[in-house]
Structure 1
Amino acid sequence: MMKFVLLAATLLAVPAMGSAQAQAPAAAPAAASLTIDSTIETIAANPQGKAILDAQFPGMMAHESYPMFKGMSLKQVQPYSGGRITDEQVAKVAAELAKLK
C-alpha cells in the first residue's frame, strides 16, 4: 500500500520516461460514454479523450507507473497524488469530456 501511495504521489512529478510500450486498444470507446468516472485507460483509448488528458497531465500515459494506475479514474488517483491532481484539473477534464460527441 505504501508503494502505491508513493507511486501516486509521484504520478506527475516525475518527467515522462522516453520509452513507453504502446498498446493499441481493440476499439476506441464512444466519446459520449466518457466521464470523469471512466478509467484513465478508457479515456486514453479514445483519441479525443487522450488529447484532453495530455492537455492537463502531459506525459501521464508515458509514465513508468501507468500500468499500475491506468485502471483507476482520475478521482480515484487524486487523493494519492499529493496535490498534483487538483480539483480544478479534474473539473476541466470533466467539462471537456462532457463536450465530446
Structure 2
Amino acid sequence: MKRILAPALAAFIAAAVAPAAFSPAAAIPSEPSKPKYSTAETPLGDLLDTPATKAILEKYLPELVANDQIEMARGMTLKQLQNYAGDMITEEKLHAIDEAFVKIAGQ
C-alpha cells in the first residue's frame, strides 16, 4: 500500500508547490473596492475641485455650492457639515449623492 500512496502523494505535493499552481493574489481574498468619492470621507474641497462631483453637488445641494462661505468648509466632509446644516443636508440627500458618486466611478 505504501508503494501506491507514495507516487500519488509525491504528485500531490509537486502540484501544490509548483510556481504556476500558486498565485499569491488568488490566495488572498480581494476586498471590495471603496468608492473613490464619499459624503462621509471625501473633503468638500476635493468634491468642489472635481467637475463631475461638483455637478452632483450642484444638483442635490445647489444652495450649499452657491453659499458665499463655502470656502471655509473645504476641509470638512458633507457628513460633518450635516451637523451644522441638517435641514439642508439630509440623510436622503447624502444617500442620493453617494449613489451618484458610485455611478460616475463606474464610467
TM over 0.5: yes
The verdict on how the C-alpha distance between 1:86 and 1:60 changes in structure 2, with shifts beyond 3 A counting, is same
**Cα drift, residue 59 of structure 1:** 4.0
Which structure has more RCO (C-alpha within 8 Å, separation ≥ 6)?
A: 1
TM-score, length-normalised on structure 2? 0.59
**Root-mean-square deviation (CA), in Å?**
1.5
Structure in which a larger fraction of residues adopt helix: 2
**Matched-pair identity in %:** 29
Aligned length: 70
* Partner residue of 2:53 out of 35, 49, 66: 49
**Unmatched 5+ stretches in structure 2:** 1-34
TM-score, length-normalised on structure 1? 0.62
Counterpart of 1:87 in structure 2 is 91
Deviations 1:29-88 (A, max 9, x none): xxx621222011101111110110000111433311111112111100001114221100
Counterpart of 1:63 in structure 2 is 67
1:1-101 matches, cutoff 5 A? 33-36=36-39, 37-101=41-105
Aligned mates of 1:51, 1:96 — CA distance in 2: 10
**Unmatched 5+ stretches in structure 1:** 1-31
- Structure 1 or 2, whichever has the larger Rg, is 2
